Structure 1
């Protein structure tokens, strides 16, 4: 078959539009198999009820075939009233069973969809934070929204309807073979056309739908980045460039949409031709068989009606199987997180002390492009280290390595002699915590937001944590205090208050080493200075790595590391670096005018 060729990718467009993997066919099959086994009882009930509905629907053709048989034999007493009564009873049973099939199918679909959502959420939350950070907003957003939406119809309808269609076709074929075995040959006439058309379609459809989904993810990423960085785009007059990029992404996506529509425009006529061939061959062959005395007119009538009934389940199977081609891509994208191999973690590995070291560390977000170059650093227990330097120098990246978010490409980052990258994430969080300028207030009470850090904390401990970050004043002024609903739809909090909640969680978590990545950046300078003084008594005795552009934080630190172009260019106390007259001294003079 010759027709529309698949579109070529824009060379500037990502081929997969994602850094998270897409599940392999083996992974998808294993997950779907597990999902079916999880709901095998519901599947058994659905198949059984559907079989009863199909058998009830076959009563009509057999009754009509019997009438034709009696009339052709010259019978005068055909018991028409009994036949009509049996038909009405069969119709009532079919209606009842069909309703039950739809109800059971919808319930099964909703249960499987709920399981899929929960499985994806649980698996995503369990991923290392660095993996999620690299994935980006567009890819995660498209998987959680678009792929779930595409799966909704498939889970609610496609899977149950496919099971129904397969049982339906099997029983009709069985009925046709039992009623008039020679008529079963008619299936062999229509089958090659259906096989050839489906092979052509299903050879092209999965890749096309996968590219279509990737194209949509690229559109989402481009639009999300444009909205998030709107002020920067406006300030640098990048509007025309971003619009052009978005148009390229939309154009590639719509080309794949057009191609998948073309594939369907070939498949559906093939299905219609199959229906015509099936019924036509039954009538032609059946007529020849009747003339030769191989079957009776009643058998031909029943066989023709069963063949006519077969068109609906065949169309149902192919229609919903096509729907599953779209769903298969979405499932592959959702279960792809299962293919992320967890970093080899030694559950028995524990730090022996609080001494933190980075030795000859190299790290980059892309292959062969390092952000940090042979960085070595020693953070003594209980000391305060400040990382300063120009934007983009690698301060936050180094802080994330020290917090165990990322693992170095080469070199080691150790805590108490144990490599952070080899420890389970949960164990790392028991010792080291990262608090950055990003914060989130979850929908729920203020108490629930704080208990995220330690679920067994008493109210007195919650108030103590709020007091440690100077948040108890406004918290006690709330109408319901700790029970006040905050977040979307609840009490609106200022950015400073939201950040104080994040810092209060830190106090409750009580790790011995803290990495503060501009943790007070959303507070005005006076409030930030006041909060940092309040935090001083909380931070006493803990190891603190502070990343900030405000140099008063560096002034209070025991050791200052100046990071420039991914390397530590200076290391020492405030007074030592000011006296040295290097990069830090220049920053300090600039800060103080």
Structure 2
């Protein structure tokens, strides 16, 4: 199955979403803006007072004490306003960040499982970790700092113009230079940071895959190949980060030069204007201080603007998760009956390479169907289609009787899981108590939870025990039992068990399957198994070979037919006898 990177939102989508987030909180936004504006205005008074003080000293009538007290008052006022302005911005930022995280979790949970698997773990993991962290930094720091800087620049330029249009002109000498370098940078930075994050996702995916499959890598001697993959991913990440670094090595030196040039130009040109009587000393002094005061917010703006590009790229990746098209089109129809049927089903993970070919299979309500066959035959793929995880490329998989049958892909997920549930050999234990892990199936009493645990021969800790990350470690077999207990509580009418007891030893698996058979009596069960005692106990057996159902019947019928199943049974029966499998002799008697 090829890896497909999840989509990335367009620039228009990012801008529209950011605008909607801000407009959700107009009062908080206006309050923060007003406080920052007042703080900026308070900071503009000091240069003007200093300009007047210099001219007063020249005339000999300066009131130094009054000016000093006024400056001190405005400095204190600015400090208080800045404190509350930052507090208001932080509150707004945290609210927006919380909404972004909640929306992202909602998008991830709504992703079609088939697309998540094709994307691999690396891409989704990097979005939920690195991109969320980057966006957090942007929302908490970059966005408020940029907003403050823009307000400060706007008010300072306004004060500079009011001081005197002539003395304000020299600072404009740097505008073409800054405008040009910013256009050059912004055209390249967004795409560059997106490539950097994709490269990081590929590297994460490769490392996670290698660690997760470490035993397979070791057993098959794939270490060198995995090392080459890791080296290639690191090289790709290095190239992507080197590109964005080159952008910064152009932007920041030009910006540093731009900070010095306006101050020098204002002092020089302003001095000429003063000599020729075109500007007062107070105007030149105030203008120079205002231009000097512009350096801080412009520097902050350029510094955080780079961080903003990272945040924009992260937001595009987080929003892009919502661009994954749904794999189902839920309608209003409800199935009439519980019969599950596949008709003319074809499925391909890659275009032009079908792994299932014209599969026809109808399950009788309440029966236990075993699906067997060689590895790679398509058993698990068929199970996923019967569980509604994937939709067929051609044909239909329906639930219901006759005209009341509804395709599984037309059912909303909540309704689908009430009809069919899939349990595989891969199980996740969530951080929390055993009870927490059970009630996520549906709210239940302690008595019902304990009954479900007894049904799966639970040999782990009690309901109040903390399990999962940081809690009591469960063995793979116990994790499997916990997942099966959840299934018992979820109570769907059809279950697809894809080697769901494979992590248990043969004797324990045999005992658990018999216990489950009693608990799940009356429900339809599709058991995909590699242990043929499961097939022996089933009502019918479907043999899958090369993506086709080649044999279908009871165990005795297929043994009498002397076909593929009979050969599998003969081979397995001989092996299991030699290894002392619990299914031999009396254990081979049917339990239906």
Question: Which TM-score bucket, shorter chain as reference?
Answer: over 0.9
3-state secondary structure, aligned to 2:354: coil
TM-score by length of 1: 0.93
3-state secondary structure, aligned to 1:100: helix
3-state secondary structure, aligned to 2:423: strand
CA distance in 1, matches of 2:469, 2:182: 49
Deviations 1:180-220 (A, max 9, x none): 12233334321111111111111111111111111111111
Indicate how the Cα distance of structure 1 residues 18 and 146 shifts in structure 2: closer, same or farther if over 3 A, else same: farther
Deviations 1:128-179 (A, max 9, x none): 2222222211111111111122223212110111110111111101111111
CA distance in 1, matches of 2:126, 2:351: 25
Deviations 1:310-349 (A, max 9, x none): 1111121121111111111111111111112334533412
Contact conserved, 1:108 with 1:156, CA < 8 A, in 2? Answer: no
Aligned twin of 1:589: 570
Give the CA deviation at 1:18: 4.5
- Which ranges in structure 1 are unaligned for 5 or more consecutive residues? 1-13
CA RMSD across the alignment = 1.7
3-state secondary structure, aligned to 1:387: strand
3-state secondary structure, aligned to 2:484: helix
2:80 to 96, 106, 114: 96
Aligned twin of 2:539: 558
1:138 matched to 2:122: yes
CA distance in 2, matches of 1:43, 1:274: 31
Give the CA deviation at 1:43: 2.5
TM-score by length of 2: 0.93
Give the CA deviation at 1:482: 2.0
Aligned twin of 2:448: 461
1:513 matched to 2:494: yes
Aligned twin of 1:497: 478
Contact conserved, 2:345 with 2:357, CA < 8 A, in 1? Answer: yes
2:349 to 354, 365, 372: 365
Matches within 5 A, 1:238-257: 238-257=222-241
Aligned twin of 2:166: 182
Deviations 1:38-69 (A, max 9, x none): 34333222222222221222121011111123
Aligned twin of 2:221: 237
Contact conserved, 2:343 with 2:395, CA < 8 A, in 1? Answer: yes
CA distance in 1, matches of 2:195, 2:223: 27
1:48 matched to 2:34: yes
Matches within 5 A, 1:37-436: 37-72=23-58, 74=59, 76-416=60-400, 417-436=405-424
Deviations 1:259-284 (A, max 9, x none): 21111000011212222232233223
Deviations 1:199-248 (A, max 9, x none): 11111111111111111111111111111111111111111111111101
1:20 matched to 2:9: no
CA distance in 2, matches of 1:463, 1:55: 67
CA distance in 2, matches of 1:519, 1:344: 26
Give the CA deviation at 1:253: 0.8
Give the CA deviation at 1:82: 0.6
Contact conserved, 2:55 with 2:282, CA < 8 A, in 1? Answer: yes
CA distance in 1, matches of 2:470, 2:573: 43
Indicate how the Cα distance of structure 1 residues 255 and 351 shifts in structure 2: closer, same or farther if over 3 A, else same: same
Aligned twin of 1:570: 551
3-state secondary structure, aligned to 1:375: strand
3-state secondary structure, aligned to 1:407: coil
Deviates more, 1:44-53 or 1:169-178: 44-53
Deviations 1:390-433 (A, max 9, x none): 11211111101110111111111111110111211111011111
Indicate how the Cα distance of structure 1 residues 344 and 589 shifts in structure 2: closer, same or farther if over 3 A, else same: closer
Contact conserved, 1:105 with 1:157, CA < 8 A, in 2? Answer: no
Contact conserved, 2:327 with 2:390, CA < 8 A, in 1? Answer: no
Contact conserved, 1:222 with 1:246, CA < 8 A, in 2? Answer: yes
3-state secondary structure, aligned to 2:5: coil
CA distance in 2, matches of 1:223, 1:279: 51
CA distance in 2, matches of 1:506, 1:230: 30
3-state secondary structure, aligned to 2:353: coil
1:443 to 427, 431, 441: 431
3-state secondary structure, aligned to 1:364: strand
- Which ranges in structure 2 are unaligned for 5 or more consecutive residues? 575-592
CA distance in 2, matches of 1:579, 1:189: 95
Contact conserved, 1:396 with 1:517, CA < 8 A, in 2? Answer: yes
Aligned twin of 2:587: none
CA distance in 1, matches of 2:152, 2:40: 6
Aligned twin of 2:582: none
3-state secondary structure, aligned to 1:23: coil
3-state secondary structure, aligned to 2:268: helix
Aligned twin of 1:33: 19
3-state secondary structure, aligned to 2:62: coil
Deviates more, 1:394-403 or 1:560-569: 560-569
Contact conserved, 1:108 with 1:160, CA < 8 A, in 2? Answer: no
1:538 matched to 2:519: yes
Give the CA deviation at 1:103: 3.3
CA distance in 2, matches of 1:28, 1:578: 62
CA distance in 1, matches of 2:123, 2:445: 39
Contact conserved, 1:361 with 1:374, CA < 8 A, in 2? Answer: yes
